[in-house]
Structure 1
Amino acid sequence: MARKRKGRDISGWLVVDKPAGITSTSVVNKVRWALEAKKAGHAGTLDPEATGVLAVALGEATKTVPYITDALKAYRFTVRLGQATNTDDTEGEVIATSDARPSDDEIIAALPQFLGDIMQVPPKFSAVKIDGQRAYKLARDGEDVELAARPLWVEELLLVDRPDADHVTLEMTCGKGGYVRSIARDLGTSLGCHGHVRELRRVWSGPFDVENGLTLDRIEEIARTPELDTFIQPLEIGLADLPELKCTPEGAAKLRNGNPGMVLAATVEYGDEAWASLDGEAVAVGTYKAGELHPSRVFVRPE
């Protein structure tokens, strides 16, 4: 018989303003401890040295993680020009240098090639799997890592600051699976000067904004108190990009049992993915078909 996991049956989202020098998994573990939560996960890894929005899902909200992972995200990052590193950030070794320093106009002219649907090669030191092993592990072991290019949607890429000749600060809005380090590397290559990420901050992710995030220091300060609970956002926020369909108590009962349930639909078409609610509370996510929602994920609320 499986051991029952200890902790509170708590569901929702806690937005953390992640500091540098800690892994995303460590942040999740800290949040789980602070809230005494049974279950927690995050929506989109940040590199250890990156800062900013890390949305931590609690309990049933973990079932909405894929929708946040797929949502647009925005990053503000500083590129160090004139140097390439083997990790494409400051953690690695410098492997090439250049005395060339492009002008602001040259940088701006180079940005459009990274907009829209592009193909991007992830950094060699990344979590991408090659034959079942993480690329970063193979790279650390000295193996020659060759990664295939992957599609990425980049909605916006802007130059927002030029602190000095060696640095440029950019803001990017992109879809799922983007590597800012690759943008910095490829921009430096395009400009003929090399480049790597010096600082990286995620300013928003889907519906979550860094301005509403708690620092880890603040979380530790109010850990295991009712005050921390006041910062938990409803799990329904994770479904913001899906249409909401109202259902009756009878329809909700069927959905909770994993069966199709009747919903009121006005803005969806046959085959659309949507979520059903009863009195504003999420019941299930599924596919709309002829007046019913066919559930793929059902939310179980504590009694």
Structure 2
Amino acid sequence: MARRRPATTHGTVIVDKPPGPTSHDVVAMLRRRFGERRIGHAGTLDPSATGVLVVGIGNATRLLRFATAGRKSYECEIVFGVATSTLDAAGETIETWNMDLDPSEVARVAKGFVGTISQLPPMVSAVRVGGRRLHEIARSGQTAERESRVIEVFGFEVAATRDPRVYRASVDCSAGTYVRTLGADLGSALGGGAHIRALRRTRSGTFSLSEAESPDDAVLRPPGELVRDLSQLHLSDDETAQARQGAHLAARRYEGRGPWALLDAAGGLVAVHERIDGRLRATVLPSSDSSQ
């Protein structure tokens, strides 16, 4: 008697990550809960960080790269006068300063980071150098040569608290931005140093905290949720059948720069088409997957 293959789960989950577990730990929780090994997420959060973690399950993992590129929003506290080895409260203190801060000056200097800027990835990040992740190199007591990357900060607001050393901050930025580096760089620009604490991601793409739930309670959404921000093309039955085979639509159907989410008559995601180096490429979801 042939062994029956286990049911496969496909979809999107929006998690409000709690403090403590790593993003990988959250993935492991969801693997056990849904009985599906193919699970990935759109943007790592540090163990101490909380907030929106967008997760793709089953064949929805094919779509995560579209969600990963979205802009992010964060809230945190910046502690001035203390630099740490990890640029956040989890690290060891490496240097201290007496910083007499004027709230209006802190806000003015923070505005100088808004726009397109270069940022050096921290040694505790997951960026790969020579095939190894920077945080692995750092744990071995070594350092590595890092290249600055261009990021965009759309908003960087700071406000004083009752503690003159601590400011609340909100950051709206492009994917790939390190908020801990932003906090440390602000401290340096003010003549001393700083680290961040209580980091919380409030938005990832268009997914916000209002949609996020604990890993135990988060509901399974359709795979197409991962590309809900893309331009949408509604297909006829004939076009749906062709798109499921990887065929492209007539050129007149594509408007704008793309990518385009192709939807069937019921609103289910059939495929994503994008233009790469002038050529159309298709990422197709089988019909059994898009119905989840």
Asked if Structure 1 and Structure 2 have the same fold, meaning a TM-score greater than 0.5 normalized by the shorter chain, the answer is: yes
* Gapped regions of structure 1 (runs ≥ 5): 223-227
Q: Is the 8 A contact 2:107 2:159 kept in 1?
A: no
Alignment correspondent of 2:268: 281
- Per the alignment, in what secondary structure is the counterpart of residue 34 of structure 1? helix
Alignment correspondent of 1:298: 284
Alignment correspondent of 1:116: 115
Cα offsets for 1:5-56 (capped at 9, x unmatched): 9654222211111111111011011112112235221111101110011111
Q: How do residues 184-195 of structure 1 correspond to structure 2 at under 5 angstroms? A: 184-195=183-194
Please give the alpha-carbon distance, in whole angstroms, between the structure 1 residues aligned to 2:69 and 2:100.
Answer: 36
Alignment correspondent of 1:73: 72
Alignment correspondent of 1:197: 196
Alignment correspondent of 2:53: 54
Alignment correspondent of 2:222: 234
TM-score calculated relative to the size of structure 2: 0.90
Alignment correspondent of 1:91: 90
Q: How do residues 1-303 of structure 1 correspond to structure 2 at under 5 angstroms? A: 7-216=6-215, 219=216, 231-262=219-250, 265=253, 268-269=255-256, 272-279=258-265, 280-287=267-274, 294-302=280-288
- Per the alignment, in what secondary structure is the counterpart of residue 145 of structure 2? coil
User: Deviation at 1:107?
Assistant: 0.7
- Per the alignment, in what secondary structure is the counterpart of residue 14 of structure 1? strand
Please give the alpha-carbon distance, in whole angstroms, between the structure 2 residues aligned to 1:7 and 1:101.
Answer: 62
Give the counterpart letter for 1:255 in structure 2.
A
Please give the alpha-carbon distance, in whole angstroms, between the structure 2 residues aligned to 1:52 and 1:253.
Answer: 39
Give the counterpart letter for 2:28 in structure 1.
N
Give aligned-pair identity as a percent: 32
User: Deviation at 1:259?
Assistant: 2.0
Cα offsets for 1:173-211 (capped at 9, x unmatched): 111101011001100100112101121000111121112
Cα offsets for 1:243-274 (capped at 9, x unmatched): 10111222111211122235883x714x6321
* Gapped regions of structure 2 (runs ≥ 5): none
Between 119-128 and 279-288, report the one with greater CA deviation.
279-288
Please give the alpha-carbon distance, in whole angstroms, between the structure 2 residues aligned to 1:7 and 1:118.
Answer: 48
User: Deviation at 1:76?
Assistant: 0.2
Q: Is the 8 A contact 1:161 1:170 kept in 2?
A: no
TM-score calculated relative to the size of structure 1: 0.86
Please give the alpha-carbon distance, in whole angstroms, between the structure 1 residues aligned to 2:240 and 2:280.
Answer: 11
Change (3 A) 1:8 1:171: farther
